[in-house]
Amino acid sequence: MNLEARLGDVTNSDNKIILPESQLPQHWYNIVAELPFDVPKPLHPIEDRAVEINDFDWLWPRECLRIELQEEEYGTDAWIAIPEFISDVYRRYRPSPLVRARSLEKHLGTPAEIYFKREDLNPAGSHKFNTALVQAYYATQEEDSQIHCMVTDTGAGQWGAALAMACETLGLACSVFMIRKSYDEKPYRRYMMRMAGADVYSSPSELTATGRQVLRDDPDNSGSLGIGMSEAIEFVKESPGRRLALGCMSYYAVLHQSIIGLETKLQLEQIDRSPDLMVGCVGGGSNFTGFIAPFVRDKIEGSPIEFRAIEPESIPTLSEGEYRYDWADFSELTPRILMYTLGHRFVPPPVHSGGLRYHGKTPVLSALVKNEVVGTRTFSQREVFDAGRLFLKTEGVLAAPESAHAVRGAIDAARDASKTGQNQVIVLCLSGHGYLDLKGFSDVLDLDTPN
Ligand SMILES: *Cc1c(COP(=O)(O)O)cnc(C)c1O
C-alpha cells in the first residue's frame, strides 16, 4: 500500500508552525480604532440615549464596560497592553500551533494549502478561555471592590467551563446557570465545571424570582438562554460582590480574541505566506472576528484577501437577518446594539452546535459584513458533521460541532480551488474540540449503527 499518498507531501516543510513563547504578542489589537467606519456604541435598554458606565457597573466589570463603550484609549489606541498576569496564564497554552492540513489537502486533491489555527488545546477546550480569564481578572482589579464571584448562564457548557477554569485561576467563586435540558442531557461539562470549583444550577432554578415564576407556570420547563441570562442578571443584582461574565456578543470578547489573529499573522509570516481566504464559524462572532482582525486593514488597503463567516443554515443571522438595534437577551435588560439579528425573541432550532445558537452577532462583525469586508456562507448540519468526520479521519483532530462549520467552509473553498487550479492559501480557525460533543455527532452521523 502506498502510505505516502495518505499523508500528503511531508518532505518539503513542517506540518506545525510553532511560535516560541518569547514571541507571544504583548498587546491585543483594537480593531475599532483603525476601521474607516464607526462601530456604533450601545444604547440604553429602554431610554433613547447612549449607555453610560454607571448604568451597568453593578452588572459588568467596569473595564468590560469601558471597552464596550470605546472609552478613552479603547476608542483611539490600536494596541492595548496585555496585563502580565494574563500573559503568564496564556503561556500555559499559547502561542497555539498553526497546522498545515496536508492529509486533508491530499484527500481533496486540491492545489490549495489549508492551515488550521488550534484553539482547542487550552484548559477548557475552546477559544472562550482567552476572554473568560481576562473578564475574571478585571473583576479582581477593581478599586474598592468586594467582587468575589462571577456569574453567567451557559447552554451546552463551553462558556461555563471556560469561566469556571478562569475563576479558579483567579481565586474567585463562580456561579453558572445551565439550561436544564443541557444540565440533564450533557453532564460532562457540568462535571468539569464542578471539578474546577464552580456552583452549577439547573435553570430555571428556585434561586431567583424569574426561575421560581417559570417553574410555577410550567414545572417541566426545559430552560433557555433567555431565562438563564435573566436568572444570572437577577443573581448578580442581589449582591454587590457579584458580576456578570459574557462570552460572545460583546466587543471586549473580540478584543481579547485578537490574540488568535495576531499569532496567526506571525506564523504565516514565518513561512512566507499570506492568506487568500480566512474562514471561521460564528456564534456571537468573537473567535472569527478576533482571528481576522489583524488582517482587516490589509484588505481595506487593497490586498485581495477574502474573509468568510460560516453559519448554520437554520440560524442565518448574517446571511438573512436584519441590520438594526436589538437586545442581546430575551427580557430586554441588556443594552441595545446595532447588529445583524434574527430578533431577540428568536428561538433557535435544537442544532448540536450550541455555541452558534445566538440571534445576534457582535456589532463590529456586523459592521464588517454591512460594509462588505466580510462575506458569509451557510451549511446544513449534515454537511458540517460530515466535514467533522473527514477532518478526524484525515488530520486526527476532532473538531467541535461549531468548529466543523469552519472546516466545512475551508473544504468547500479548497474544492473550488481544485476546479480553477488556483494555488490558494486557506486558513481556518479551529475554535474548539468536540470530545464532549460526541453524542451530537452520533445523533447526526448515526454512530450507534455498526459500520
Ligand atoms: C461558543 C463557541 C463558538 C461561537 O462563539 P463565537 O463568539 O462566535 O466565537 C464557536 N466555537 C466554539 C468551540 C464555541 O464553544
Phi, psi of 391 (to 5 degrees): -65, -40
Tell me how far apart the alpha carbons of residues 439 and 340 are, in angstroms, rounded to a whole number.
31
Distance between Cα 221 and ligand 1 center (Å):
26
- Cα 311 to ligand 1 centre (Å): 11
Q: Is the CB of 431 under 6 A from ligand 1?
A: yes
Determine if ligand 1 sits within 6 Å of the CB of residue 261. Answer: no
Choose which residue among 152, 158, 433 to substitute to test ligand 1 binding: the one with the highest number of ligand atoms within 8 A of its C-beta.
158
Degrees (nearest 5) of the Cα angle 400, 179, 354?
A: 20
pLDDT tens, residue by residue, 390-433: 999 999 999 999 999 999 999 999 999 888 888 899 999 999 99
Reported as a pLDDT band with limits 50, 70 and 90, residue 55 is very high
402 lines ligand 1 (CB under 6 A): yes
Higher pLDDT, 346 or 115: 115
Q: What pLDDT sits at residue 139?
A: 96
pLDDT at 421: 80
Q: Could you give the angle at the alpha carbon of 414 between the alpha carbons of 411 and 420, nearest 5°?
A: 150
Is the CB of residue 211 below 6 angstroms from any atom belonging to ligand 1? no
CA distance 440 to 21: 36
Ligand 1 center–CA 436 separation, angstroms: 14
pTM: 0.96
Question: Mean pLDDT, to the nearest integer, of 155-163?
Answer: 93
User: Which of 115, 120, 121, 123 is closest to 98 using CA atoms?
Assistant: 115
- 248, 278, 352: which to mutate for ligand 1, most atoms within 8 A of CB? 248
Whose Cα sits closest to atom 1 in ligand 1?
355
Cα dihedral sign, 235-244-190-87: negative
Chain centroid, CA 284 distance in Å: 7
Distance 437 CA to ligand 1 centre (A): 13
Question: Does the structure show a pLDDT above 60 at 285?
Answer: yes
Q: For position 143, what pLDDT does the model report? A: 84
Q: What is the pLDDT of residues 305-314, one digit of tens each?
A: 999 999 999 9
> CA 93, CA 122: separation in Å to the nearest integer?
6
Mean pLDDT of the region 133-146: 92
From the alpha carbon of 285, which atom of ligand 1 is closest? 8
Centre of ligand 1 from the C-alpha of residue 1, in Å: 40
Reported as a single tens digit per residue, the pLDDT across 213-249 is 999 999 999 888 878 988 999 999 999 999 999 877 8
Long-range Cβ contacts of 208-212 (<8 Å, 24+ apart): 208/234, 208/235, 209/234, 210/234, 210/331
User: CA–CA distance from 336 to each of 42, 71, 224, 243 (Å)?
Assistant: 6, 17, 20, 20
Cell numbers for 184: 440533564
What is the average pLDDT value for the chain, to the nearest integer? 94
Regarding predicted confidence, which is higher, 305 or 9?
305
Choose one of 152, 356, 430 to mutate for the ligand 1 pocket test, by most ligand atoms within 8 angstroms of C-beta. Answer: 356
Say whether pLDDT at 358 is over 70.
yes
Instruction: Give the max Cα distance, the chain.
Output: 70
pLDDT at 38 over 70: yes
CA of 356 from ligand 1 middle (Å) equals 6
pLDDT tens-place string over residues 187-221: 999 999 999 999 999 999 999 999 999 999 999 99
Instruction: State the pLDDT at residue 222.
Output: 87
Q: Is 158 in the pocket of ligand 1 (CB under 6 A)?
A: yes
Q: How confident is residue 286, by pLDDT bands cut at 50, 70 and 90?
A: very high
Q: Which amino acid is at 133?
A: L
* pLDDT value of position 372: 96
Is 9's pLDDT higher than 70? Answer: no
Which of 135, 204, 127, 211 is CA-nearest to residue 170?
Answer: 135
From the CA of 290, give the closest atom in ligand 1: 9
Q: Please provide the DSSP assignment of 98-160 as one string.
A: EEE-HHHHHHHT-SSEEEEEE-SSSTTSBTTHHHHHHHHHHHHH-TT----EEEEEESSSHHH
Helix ranges restricted to H, 238-370: 251-270, 286-300, 317-320, 363-370
CA 315, distance to chain mean position in Å, is: 16
Rg (CA), the chain: 21
Q: Using CA positions, which residue lies closest to atom 5 of ligand 1? A: 283
Summarised one tens digit per residue, pLDDT across range 327-356 is 988 788 889 999 999 998 887 777 787 788
End-to-end CA distance of the chain: 22
Q: Give, using CA atoms, the residue closest to atom 2 of ligand 1.
A: 355
pLDDT of 79 > 80? The answer is yes
C-alpha 450 to ligand 1 mean position (Å):
31
Can you tell me the mean pLDDT for 164-185?
A: 95
Distance CA 402, CA 357 (A): 10
- The response to whether residue 400 sits with its C-beta less than 6 Å from ligand 1 reads yes
> Strand pairing of 98-100 and 16-17?
antiparallel
* pLDDT of res. 346: 82
126 lines ligand 1 (CB under 6 A): yes
